[in-house]
Amino acid sequence: MWYFSDEEKELQRLCRDFAEKEIAPFAEKHDTEESFNLAAFKKMGELGILGITADPEYGGAGMGCVAATIVMEEFGKACPGLTLSYLAHSILAVNNIQNNASVEQKQKYLPKLISGEHIGCMGMSEPEYGSDAIGMQTQAKQNGDDYILNGTKMWITNAAYADIAYVYARTGKEKKNLSTFILEKEKNHFTTGNPIHKMGMRSSPTGELIFEDVNVAAEHRVGEEGSSVSHMMANLDIERITIAGISLGVAQACLDHSVKYAGERKQFGKAIGQFQMIQRMIAEMATKTSMMRNTLYNIAYQYDQGERDSIHAAIAKLGIPQMATEVALDAIQVHGGYGYSREFPVERLMRDNKLNEIGAGTNEVMVLIIAKNLLGKFKQ
């Protein structure tokens, strides 16, 4: 993009090279085995990107939403599943702690999360509360100076590998009386349930966080009791922008694979790329991908400039994953029978991307956010 800084351009080159060497060659293996590329994840700590938005004093890169989106795109081309785990760690855990925790909590938790010594996750969704996250029922009841936690968090990326969990819980009867706690596996603050087997994002571990009469010292609470709804909503914006970055990477990878295949695959004595129907599909895929890129990075740039309106994050989250699924389906069509087989990666990319239309707020929730914002402004 024309407005990428020199630092962001260098980050793009660095992540592209890392993805080609450390992520892409193992993506199919981890998808098939439903396993986690822990080795590559740890190397991201050496690369200096596990704290992409965190302050340098804690080991972070001190960069913004554009930079985080660059990482998502470059890694998303290679393995969306591993990239989702990166997002859960760097945006849902590290970025939340960076923005909301006390200095003492940042000093305690961020260095090890940013180095890769510890892996982080976030607990928001529950078995009965997904889109209605504010209705969550996990309870944190005061017990003297401490809290007793009870409940279950569901669909938690990195659950089985997490050392640190950034968890929301109800601390009062009012619906918006939610508080946040930084929980440690080492202190037995949480246990994990069975892994969840998924259609896509199979290389990203997903599971439950379980709290059964867990005693948590008040020093683990983030901010004032009952103050967490605003934190939750603010972080959802950057989560939605950056998860759209994974979809952009999916679309670009599908386009690249399709162009290559159309130039190599021959039917009726010539490359299929010479047929107008194939040319049309590839041209439309390229057009959609270019539109996605320009829209997404413009929204990320606005976010970094302080223009943080949830409608723009919702637009990115609604439009870009949807378009990426369309591009991925066209890529399968270009590849024909091979596209439907596991011999080429386009079927995996399509399966992986579908999750981006569900996680971080479903398409339907994004529609509600956009419509309410626009209609509310019209009414005013």
| Residues forming the active site | 239
DSSP 175-242: TT-EEEEEEETTTT--EE-PPPP-SS-TTS-EEEEEEEEEEEEGGGEESSTT-HHHHHHHHHHHHHHH
Strand partners, 206: 157
Two tokens, residue 132: 């209605």
Residue 343 backbone dihedrals phi, psi, to 5 degrees: -70, -30
**Who's near 271: CB < 8 A, 6+ residues apart?**
262, 263, 264, 265
CA atoms within a 13 Å half-sphere pointing along the CA-CB vector of 74: 22
Angle (CA) 51-294-299 rounded to 5° is 55
The two beta strands, 120-123 and 164-170, are: parallel
User: Alpha helices, DSSP H only, in the chain?
Assistant: 6-18, 27-33, 38-47, 65-78, 80-87, 96-100, 103-115, 228-264, 276-304, 310-335, 337-340, 346-354, 363-379
Q: What span, in angstroms and rounded, lies between the C-alpha atoms of 36 and 174?
A: 39
Place of tokens 């950034």: 166
Q: What span, in angstroms and rounded, lies between the C-alpha atoms of 171 and 84?
A: 30
Is-contact 223 106, C-beta < 8 A? no
Residue 369 backbone dihedrals phi, psi, to 5 degrees: -60, -45
Helix/strand/coil for 156:
strand
